Amino acid sequence: MEANNKNTKTFLQISVHLTGYDEMDLLGTGMLESYYDVVIHENNLHLVSEFLTTSEKILGDLPNINDKIRQQLIDDVKFNSLTSNIIMMWYMGTWNGNVVSPQSYIQGLVWKAADTHPPGAKQPGYGSWENPPITIHPPVAVKPAAKAETLTTV
């Protein structure tokens, strides 16, 4: 369980740098566990384990991370297709061209990148298309809420 959590975390963190979206965006898709499962089930476990170990090392060198990803994951024949597939999965919700699940289609990052929504879901409402899309800017830090008031019923 512990190891699994650690691996999921590594998968999440390397996915941040592979997709260009931050942790909140990726977690917000609700797809992390499903996608991690797909990676596990669709690949040689030994390869996945090596991929995660390599990723962990790469994540330890944040200043050079893009160079490291390029050299060790993208340009590396061993990891290239796995890495590409992971990027495609986050963006399109597909693994090797097959849609993982109805939700994975809806949660594809490509719609966010194109400033739109997945066709057939998350509809923006009547007439919205007449105007440019509303761009959600990165959240600004907010002070933690004061101690929550206890609701009492009378």
Partner 1 sequence: MENTEYDVIIVGSGIAGCVMAKTLTQAGKKVLLLEAGLSAGINLDKNGNFYNYVDYLNTYYKANAKVPNSPYPNIKDAPSPNVLDIQATPSVDKGYYVQEGELPFASDFLRGPGGTTLHWLGSTPRMLPNDFQMKTNYNVAVDWPITYNELVPYYEMAELEIGVAGDASVQPNANEYTKGYEFPMKKIPQSYLDQKFMALVDKVNKGEHPVQIDKKKVTIGLTSTPQGRNAVPNEKYPYIDVMWNAEQQKLVMTKHMYWSGKDRAFKELDKKEKYQYLPVGAVWDPNTGQRCEGNASCVPICPVQAKYNALKSLAKADESKLTIKTQSVASKVLHNGEKTQITGVVYKTYAFGDDAIEYKEVIATAKIYVLAANAIENAKILLASEAANSSKQVGCNLMDHLCLLTWGLLPEKGYPFRGPGSTTNISSFRDTDTRKDHSAWICPVDNWGWGWPKFSPGSDVQDAVKEKKFGKELRNHLSDVLPRQLLLHYECEQLPNKDNRVSIKDEYRDALGNHRPVIKYNVSDYEIKAFAAAKAINDQLFKAAGIKDFTKYGEKDENGKFKNPDIVTPPRSKEIYNFWGAGHIVGTHRMGKDADKSVVDKNLCTWDHNNLYLVGCGNMPTLGTSNPTLTMLALTFKAAEAILKKI
71 binds partner 1 (CB under 8 A): no
**Candidates 1-9, 53-61, 80-88, 138-146; binding stretch for partner 1 (CB under 8 A):** 80-88
Euclidean distance between CA atoms 118 and 140, whole angstroms? 26
87 binds partner 1 (CB under 8 A): yes
**Closer to partner 1 at the Cβ: 44 or 98?**
98
Burial group, residue 16, by CB count within 10 angstroms (0-12, 13-18, 19+) = middle
x-marked contacts with partner 1 along 20-59 as a string, rule CB under 8 A: xx--------------------------------------
CA atoms 26, 32, 38, 43: torsion sign:
positive
Residue 117 DSSP SS3: coil
Within 10 A of 100 (CB to CB), how many other CB atoms are there? 19
Binding site for partner 1 (CB under 8 A): 17-21, 66, 69-70, 74-75, 83-84, 87-88, 91-92, 94, 97-99, 101-103, 105-106, 109-111, 113-117, 119-121, 123-133
